[in-house]
Structure 1
């Protein structure tokens, strides 16, 4: 496996393009930030395609009762098209319709929606619905989809969704999150056992070397507040020596 941060960025780009990550191996020599920028450009392009048709469908949805719009979304539009339409809907109308959709369908939609375009909708959704959808994604080990919404919901909701997550899932989720500053308030709520489990998960993570995981762990630590960094570093001995040394050094250097 190449650099783990590059690979994770390629995995996210592959999700947007609906291709296998291996088909993007030509980009393994690229900087992770460049891959991220490419993903942003691709996302913008995908969501601007057929803008007129999407807007027309959004207008159509407004002309019928929310229950009918929900039926149309699940039976006729499907999750991908519904994800495109969501960003063109009035937030209040979209939230009302979402409450009538099954959590299973919303989980499918969340894989293709652009969180930035639906942030105002998410704010209007009840926490229990978001938690149900999140737990479906977690059950299906879809940490890419989960990671995209960490910055869009409250830490309490994220904590509830991750209640049953193991150390490997927590580490994978954290590494997939774009806005890593949003992780601090979540990690601060982790028990000592959970913090230990996350650091222990760096050993052999997806076949990455200890050096690669040391770099990835340092990237995570850099986004945290001094207090959270310091607490996390107390469990560094749960990680392989190279990771533990890098995390400890990064925390010491940030003081």
Structure 2
């Protein structure tokens, strides 16, 4: 594909911010992922700040009305987009009070439009059961870009609930779009070993994009021992499965993630990987060596 996984993910997120397709932002593909991210952050800032004064005035009106009256008005007159923009200008405690009384479906739609710069204080004050219900609604909708953004501001308690409840495939796809490697590492670290093994094997048994998601996850982890454990779970697979993973890494610019994971593994798991017949191919070896250099 000619792009590494980090660049692909940033292009998708930039396209979402601009309301277009990844093809529509292909002009940025030659930039490093960090530069694409900075462009996106500036775009988001400009879009959310453009009419901020008007939303702030609306937010000030809500302070003089009872909560239930505001909720009824919002549900009748405000789209989820408008509600999200107003919530970003409200005091976090007040906004959370409204959110705890709103329908889950309405909140899930609003999350797509919530200013990411103001999300953390609000999310930390929403009742954990309500927040988890919204997460599951977003999972059902396949809103993994939104979930990746919200993961960055999730509380420790919410991370534990999400990790225990969200399906394996959804966790893998959320990890592709997570904003923070450190927060993603914390989310993975709370999972028990049997769940981690199941997630790794789900990635390996899935289509190409799910294998890529697994490689992304292993490559982004900040904990060397946690990465080693995931890599060793992968090394339990048969030759055909590991060869598919190798070919996925080569085709999708993820050889770096693969090599980083193998280097973290124990000696026995490394020997298992290095014994793959596919590594006897000269072109494959040349590709790996060039990437390592």
TM range (shorter): 0.7 to 0.9
- Cα distance in 1 for residues equivalent to 2:13 and 2:145: 7
- Cα distance in 1 for residues equivalent to 2:64 and 2:157: 36
Q: 1:19 to 1:70 in 2, by over 3 A?
A: farther
Q: 1:6 to 1:165 in 2, by over 3 A?
A: same
Cα deviation code 1:133-176 (max 9, x no counterpart): 00101111211111112132234423423445444322221121
Q: Which residue does 1:74 correspond to in 2?
A: 75
Query: How does the TM-score come out when normalised to structure 1?
Result: 0.85
Q: Which residue does 2:61 correspond to in 1?
A: 60
Q: What's the secondary structure of 2:78's corresponding residue?
A: helix
Q: Is residue 131–residue 161 contact of structure 1 (8 Å, CA) maintained in 2? A: yes
Q: Is residue 135–residue 162 contact of structure 1 (8 Å, CA) maintained in 2? A: no
- Cα distance in 1 for residues equivalent to 2:192 and 2:63: 45
Please tell me whether residue 247 in structure 1 is matched to residue 247 in structure 2.
Answer: no
- The total of aligned residue pairs comes to 247
Q: Which residue does 1:231 correspond to in 2?
A: 229
- Cα distance in 1 for residues equivalent to 2:4 and 2:64: 50
Q: Which residue does 2:128 correspond to in 1?
A: 127
Cα deviation code 1:95-120 (max 9, x no counterpart): 11111211111101111112331321
Please tell me whether residue 206 in structure 1 is matched to residue 220 in structure 2.
Answer: no
Q: What's the secondary structure of 1:118's corresponding residue?
A: helix
- Cα distance in 2 for residues equivalent to 1:197 and 1:96: 38
Bigger shift: residues 70-79 or 188-197: 188-197
Q: Which residue does 1:105 correspond to in 2?
A: 106
Q: Which residue does 1:16 correspond to in 2?
A: 17
Q: 1:117 to 1:217 in 2, by over 3 A?
A: closer
Q: What's the secondary structure of 2:79's corresponding residue?
A: helix
Q: Is residue 219–residue 260 contact of structure 2 (8 Å, CA) maintained in 1? A: no
Query: How does the TM-score come out when normalised to structure 2?
Result: 0.75
- Cα distance in 2 for residues equivalent to 1:231 and 1:188: 11
- Cα distance in 1 for residues equivalent to 2:132 and 2:217: 27
The answer for unaligned runs of 5 or more in structure 1 is: none
- Cα distance in 2 for residues equivalent to 1:251 and 1:87: 44
Q: Is residue 55–residue 86 contact of structure 2 (8 Å, CA) maintained in 1? A: yes
Query: How do 1:136-151 and structure 2 match up within 5 A?
Result: 136-151=137-152
Query: How do 1:116-195 and structure 2 match up within 5 A?
Result: 116-163=117-164, 165-195=166-196
Cα deviation code 1:7-30 (max 9, x no counterpart): 211111222222222222222222
- Cα distance in 2 for residues equivalent to 1:44 and 1:251: 41
Which protein has the larger Cα radius of gyration, Structure 1 or Structure 2?
2
Q: Which residue does 2:280 correspond to in 1?
A: none
Q: Is residue 159–residue 186 contact of structure 1 (8 Å, CA) maintained in 2? A: yes
Q: 1:135 to 1:105 in 2, by over 3 A?
A: same
Q: 1:198 to 1:25 in 2, by over 3 A?
A: farther
Q: What's the secondary structure of 1:59's corresponding residue?
A: helix
Bigger shift: residues 224-233 or 101-110: 224-233
Q: Which residue does 1:27 correspond to in 2?
A: 28
